[in-house]
Amino acid sequence: MRSSVATGFRALDEVMGGGMAPGDLVLVGGRPGQGKTVVTLQWARNAAASGAVAVFACYEHDQLALVSRLLLGEVADAAVEHGCSDLLRLDRLRQALADVGTGRAEAAAVLRSDELLARAEERFRAYADRLVLVRASTIRTDVAGLTRLVDEHGSDRTTLFVDYLQKVAAGPEPHGEAEQVKRVAEGLKELALSRHVPVVATIAADVTGLRARRLRLAHSQGSTTPAYEADVGIVLNDKLDIVSKVHLAYDTTRTAAFRSMVVFSVEKNRRGQADVDLEFGKDFAHYRFDPAGGRVMEQLWQEGMVEG
């Protein structure tokens, strides 16, 4: 029997019963810029580093952009290993990798330009053969195409990541966005069951969700089907936006601390406890979260709550 694949976020893995389970559809929602691609790419990296195979099909970024972002995280860890605290040097390396990601600089030359970059490349190469990065097409890459990717690259421990669900091609031509999303969500769930692999997909929010103070899983763009099909539903919100104002009324110094955190609300969880709020620190300069998070201790805003 295949075991779950850990995300590498210990508090989340504990809630999910060990991680991403074979046969499960895990949905990750959040507003634009909230960190959906950041966190799912980080989970894929952690899965590959642990010895599993991770297939990351991205409809928004090409392989070069994804690799440059992975290298940013490896640079940060390499800097810690070498005791480097030179902020100017690290800023220069981050800019160099950003230039690689946008095609303004040649990767090989950049990676040879600094010892930390060379070390970051070594760290990346240690798992690169188990991390399959795919530039997916909104025209050609449908659920059948994603299934072929799993069949081609699969092992006894494989996870498919889809960034993001509403971009997956659906044919024949659906009658509207709701039908497309319904087909894709049902198809991804069937893929997870038939291939006995975890499927992790990011989902975009609808207009109501974008306007809401707190985004919910039900705010999925195009259809409510994803919320029904999901085995695990996780929604990302900036902590500052959803923490009860009572925590700021008499201590405004906490604003910066709350701003640096993102709340991962596990709204749905067929394998364990649901309605769990976890928090993880942003490290978006290195395109990642701090995985050493934990339970939210403060009161969070809920619909219908009256704040003084």
For residue 173, tell me if it sits in a domain: yes
Question: Are 153 and 178 in a shared domain?
Answer: yes
For residue 9, tell me if it sits in a domain: no
Question: Are 206 and 258 in a shared domain?
Answer: yes
For residue 277, tell me if it sits in a domain: yes
Please tell me the total count of domains within the chain: 2
Question: Are 78 and 50 in a shared domain?
Answer: no
Domain around 111: 67-125
Q: Which residue has the tokens 């699969």?
A: 154
pLDDT tens track, the chain, 308 positions: 678 999 999 999 999 999 999 999 999 999 999 999 999 999 999 999 999 999 999 999 999 999 999 999 999 999 999 999 899 999 999 999 999 988 898 888 999 999 999 999 999 999 999 999 999 999 999 999 999 999 999 878 899 999 999 999 987 777 778 888 889 999 999 999 999 999 999 999 888 888 889 999 988 887 788 888 999 999 999 999 999 888 877 677 788 889 999 999 999 999 888 999 999 999 999 999 999 999 999 999 887 666 65
Type of residue found at 292: A
pTM (predicted TM-score): 0.94
DSSP string, 50-72: TT-EEEEEESSS-HHHHHHHHHH
Question: Are 120 and 258 in a shared domain?
Answer: no
Q: Which residue has the tokens 């701090």?
A: 290
Question: Are 151 and 238 in a shared domain?
Answer: yes
Question: Are 120 and 222 in a shared domain?
Answer: no
Question: Are 198 and 118 in a shared domain?
Answer: no
Question: Are 196 and 223 in a shared domain?
Answer: yes
- The encoded tokens of residue 204 equal 């975009």
Q: Which residue has the tokens 């006995």?
A: 196
Question: Are 158 and 217 in a shared domain?
Answer: yes
Question: Are 147 and 235 in a shared domain?
Answer: yes
For residue 304, tell me if it sits in a domain: no
Distance between CA atoms of residues 227 and 217, nearest Å = 6
Task: Supply angle C-alpha 174, 178, 180, rounded to 5.
Answer: 40
